[in-house]
Amino acid sequence: MKNPIKTFIILSFFNSFLFADSINDLSLMVEEVNQEERHKKERLEELFEQRMLAQQMAKNALLLSLDYKTEFYKKELLTLAKRFDKGIKNLKDTESQRVKRLHKTWDNFYKNINIIMENYHNTMALKYITENNVLLLTDIDFILRKKIKSSQSSDSFTRKLQHENFMLFTQIDIPRSYIQKIIKEKLMIKKELNIIEYRGNLNITIFRLERLLKGFRDGDKTLELKGSGEQNFLQKLSIIDTLWRELKPLYQKEVLSTKEFEVMIKKSDEFMKKHLDVVKLSNRIIDQ
C-alpha cells in the first residue's frame, strides 16, 4: 500500500507548483494588459504633443523672419522638427488616407523648414509653413479622434478614464497649443499678413484658452469637464491663472513696444513650462 502521507505531500507539492504557475501566468497577463494600456496612453500623448509642435514650428519660423534671437530659434526649430518627424514615423496606419496626407504635408513642411534655416526671409517657405501648419493640425486632430473612438470602451484604460477623467486627459494639454497659436497669430498681425483674419482668430483663441482654464478649475458642461477639488492641482492652476492675467492684456494690445514684446515671449515660455507641471500632475491623478 502506498504511504498516504507521502502521497499527500507529493500531491500538495504538485498542486502548489501548478498554483504558482497560474499566478505567474496571471501576473504576466496583467502586465501585458498594463503595458498595452501604457502604450495606448503614450501614443495619445504623442499625438497631443504633435499638435503643439505644429503650432510651435510656425511660431519659430515667424520669429526668425523678424530676425528675433535667430541663433536660439534656429536651433529650437530644428529640434522641434526632428521631434515632430520622429512622432510622425510612429504612425504606422499607412492604409489611412488621412495618415498618408499627413506624411505628404509633413515631407513638404520639413523641406520648407530647411529652406527657412538657410534664409529666414524666404517668403514662399514662410507662406507654406504658416498656411500648412493648420493642415497638419487638422489631420492630427482627425487621427486623434479616430484613435480615441476606436479604443473607447474596449479596454480598462478607456473605461477607467471615462467620462470626465477622459475629457480632462484629452484637453489638459491644449492650453500649451493655444499659447503657441496666439503667438503665431500675433506675429502674423505684426508682419501685416491677413490682419483682419488673424485678429479674429486671435480673439477666438484667447476666449477658448480662458474658458479651458476656468473649466479645469470650475468645470464646464459643454466641454464635459467636471472641475477639480484636488488641492495640488488647484494650486498649480493658480500659478497658471496669475501668468494668464499678465499675458492676456499683452495678447490683446494692438501694438507692443519692444520691451512688451520681450515680456510677452518670456512669459509665454514660462506659461508653457508651468502648464506642463499641471499636465503631469493631472495624468498622475487620472492614473490613481
pLDDT reading at 63 higher than 90: yes
Q: Are 256 and 264 in contact (CB under 8 A)?
A: yes
Q: What percent of the chain has pLDDT over 70?
A: 77
The pLDDT of residue 23? 46
Cα dihedral across residues 255, 260, 265, 268: positive or negative: negative
Higher-confidence residue of 73 and 169: namely 73
**H helix runs in the chain, sequence order:** 4-65, 70-89, 97-118, 123-151, 156-161, 164-171, 174-190, 195-218, 231-252, 258-287
C-alpha cell at 7: 502521497
- Element housing 155 (H / E): none
The pLDDT of residue 96? 80
Rg of the Cα atoms in the chain: 25
Q: Are 51 and 140 in contact (CB under 8 A)?
A: yes
pLDDT reading at 89 higher than 60: yes
Closest C-alpha to 63, from 261, 212, 202? 261
The pLDDT of residue 8? 46
pLDDT in tens, 190-241: 887 777 888 899 999 999 999 999 999 999 989 888 888 888 889 999 999 9
pLDDT reading at 279 higher than 90: no
Top-level class of domain 153-288 = mainly alpha
pLDDT-derived band at 153, boundaries 50, 70, 90: low
The pLDDT of residue 49? 85
pLDDT-derived band at 149, boundaries 50, 70, 90: low
The pLDDT of residue 131? 85
Closest C-alpha to 275, from 239, 245, 251, 249? 239
pLDDT in tens, 16-41: 444 445 445 544 444 444 566 666 67
Mean pLDDT of the chain: 81
Q: Find cell 529650437 and name the residue.
A: 76
Tell me the domain boundaries of the chain.
54-151, 153-288
Q: Find cell 495624468 and name the residue.
A: 283
Taking residue 218's Cβ as centre, other Cβ atoms within 10 Å add up to 11
In this prediction the pTM is 0.75
Q: How far is CA 214 from the centre of its chain?
A: 19
The pLDDT of residue 97? 84
User: What gap in Å lies between CA 285 and CA 279, rounded to an integer?
Assistant: 10
Q: What percent of the chain has pLDDT over 90?
A: 43
pLDDT in tens, 104-121: 999 999 999 999 999 999
pLDDT reading at 163 higher than 90: no
pLDDT-derived band at 167, boundaries 50, 70, 90: confident
pLDDT reading at 48 higher than 70: yes
Helix 195-218, helix 231-252: angle, nearest 10 = 160
User: What gap in Å lies between CA 175 and CA 208, rounded to an integer?
Assistant: 9
In terms of Cβ atoms closer than 10 Å to its own Cβ (0-12, 13-18, 19+), residue 241 is: middle
Q: Are 130 and 61 in contact (CB under 8 A)?
A: yes
